[in-house]
Structure 1
Amino acid sequence: MMCSVKTGKKIGDYTVASCIGKGRYGVCFLALDPDGKKVILKKFRARMWKKNKNANHYEAVILSGLEHPAVPELLGVINNRQGYYFVLEYKEGLTLEQWLFDRKKIFTSGEIYRIGSQMFEVLEYLHGRNVVHGDISVANVTDDGEKISLLDFGLARYADGENIRFSLDYARAANVILYLLYSGYDGKGSRPWHEELPLTGEQREFLKKLLEPEEQFRDTGTVRHEFEKIF
């Protein structure tokens, strides 16, 4: 799907300001509400919407049940001839992907601690409500220098203890932390992460446990406390 909607185009009560991202399932626009407040319009690709018609409701249902400053609020739904859209709260900051690859930012140990701690705090909130985000990545975490937000709940599901487990979020969160750690690494990157990154033994073992497909922690609060203790 191309970002074909022109700047200034009206979609429902909203005015498109720019296209900010596109993917397999659709495209996201930055837009303004009638009061000039920024929102995100998430338009779904028609073919993917029909293909996943039995699962499309999850994102809206899950977001409607969440209230956390790091989680975008679902403000409404638009369904008209222009397409099917979610209207989402706009979150300030760049994605970690933008910080890493566009801005070439090197994250300090203090910044990694802050981002990791906040990320696990959000996961503790989600998992306490039996929600697995399912798609944590540097593209789906924003940071404004003080606080993070967790975006894109399109793959979020309720945990069932079998196919949908909290360990999926742990592994993806570990990958985010590894990306941040590698931002300050100036080696060749020819060896496995656990051999070349300058980590303590505790940090190395903690990340390995996060990456395990089976549950290795009592709960997500334990994960957060362990991260804060060793990082």
Structure 2
Amino acid sequence: MLRPVGHIGGYTVVKPIGRGKYGVCYKAFKSDGHPVVLKRFYKNPTKGRFAPDDHEAVILSGLEHPAIPEFLGVLNEKAGYFFVLEYKNGMTLEQIIFKHRHRFCDGEIFNVGSQLLKIMSYIHSRNVIHGDLRLSNIIMDDNGHISLIDFGLARYTGEDGLDFDLDYSCFGNILLYLLYSAYPKSGKKIWYEELDLLPGQRAYLMRLLRLTEPFTSDTAVVEGFRKNFSIN
């Protein structure tokens, strides 16, 4: 275990692991040595108090999936207001691509995409839109297993005018990052002219990104991905 930087509500805090618009996440340990994430919220400048996002707590409490962190509770301490979340081992895709310069091959792209679509289909079956699918919110462990974190912008279908197509377009952006990770050098051309894509892959990505007729169901998104990105 790393040298602790503090103790909060019975947890030993060892290091910050992420920072966003609404707060900071820390890796911490319970007294039994089990790791957790403590998500501390910034103070609301107008209200003068800590401002947790109730959407995240409510939504996570209603989800049960091995690739989604479990919501374990809250801490209301002098140091701040915290969510306690299950800790997921691994590195974010952002770290893997930009820090470690990993080049994803076709098989790895299919593996990541397939797992992410299973998670996405699960939350959509619960009428949940993640709303923030991006490289920094996807963790891969040493065995290649994917976890989806940070439900701070998640909403139920119809809230704030959101629908599943937001997650579809974010999934398309993730695929582009994975494809570009193996591209020798990005020029000034747009992605569908620059990347060496099959016609079906190009058409699929354009639908995800809502450049042509968008997808309207998870089934179509999953089937399209398998058809165009399967390595078999």
- Give the TM-score normalised by the residue count of structure 1: 0.91
Q: Are the aligned partners of 1:92 and 1:142 in contact in 2 as well (CA < 8 Å)?
A: yes
Worse overlay, 108-117 or 15-24: 15-24
CA deviation digits over 1:110-129, x for unaligned, max 9? 11000001111111001111
SS in 2 for 1:68: coil
> Structure 1 pair 178/188, CA: closer, same or farther in 2 (3 Å)?
closer
Residue 175 (structure 2) aligns with: 177
Residue 15 of structure 2 corresponds to which residue in structure 1?
18
Q: Which residue matches 1:3?
A: none
The change in CA–CA distance for 1:77 and 1:101 in structure 2 (over 3 A counts) is: same
Indicate conservation of the 8 Å contact 1:41/1:85, yes or no: yes
- Equivalent residue number for residue 111 of structure 1: 108
Q: Which amino acid aligns with 1:167?
A: D
How many residue pairs are counted as aligned between the two chains? 226
Please tell me the residue identity of whatever aligns with 2:94: E
Q: 1:39 to 1:162 in 2, by over 3 A?
A: closer
Give the deviation of 1:215 after TM superposition.
Answer: 7.6
| Preserved contact between residue 138 and residue 147 of structure 2 (Cα < 8 Å) | yes
Secondary structure of 1:185's match?
Answer: coil
| Aligned twin of 2:93 | 96
Determine the structure 2 residue equivalent to 1:153: 151
1:139 aligned counterpart, secondary structure: helix
Equivalent-residue separation in structure 1 for 2:5 and 2:48 (angstroms): 31
Q: Give 5+ residue unaligned stretches, structure 2.
A: none
Root mean square deviation of aligned Cα: 2.3
The residue number in structure 2 matching 1:65 is 62
How far does residue 21 in structure 1 lie from its aligned partner after superposition? 1.6
Unaligned ranges ≥5, structure 1: 1-5
The letter for the 2-side match of 1:112 is I
Q: Deviations over 1:56-104 (max 9, x none)?
A: 2100000000001111000111012111100000111100000011101
Question: TM-score normalised to the size of structure 2?
Answer: 0.91
Change (3 A) 1:213 1:164: farther
Q: Are 1:124 and 2:110 an aligned pair? A: no
Cα offsets for 1:178-216 (capped at 9, x unmatched): 001000001332100001111101000101100118983
Q: Work out whether 1:74 is the aligned partner of 2:67.
A: no
CA contact (8 A) 1:167 1:214 kept: no
For residue 222 of structure 2, the aligned residue among 221, 224, 228 is 224
AA paired with 2:137? N
* Residues 1:71 and 1:45: Cα distance change in structure 2 (over 3 Å): same
User: Runs (4+) of structure 1 moved beyond 6 Å?
Assistant: 51-55
Structure-2 change in CA distance of 1:87 and 1:50 (3 Å) = farther
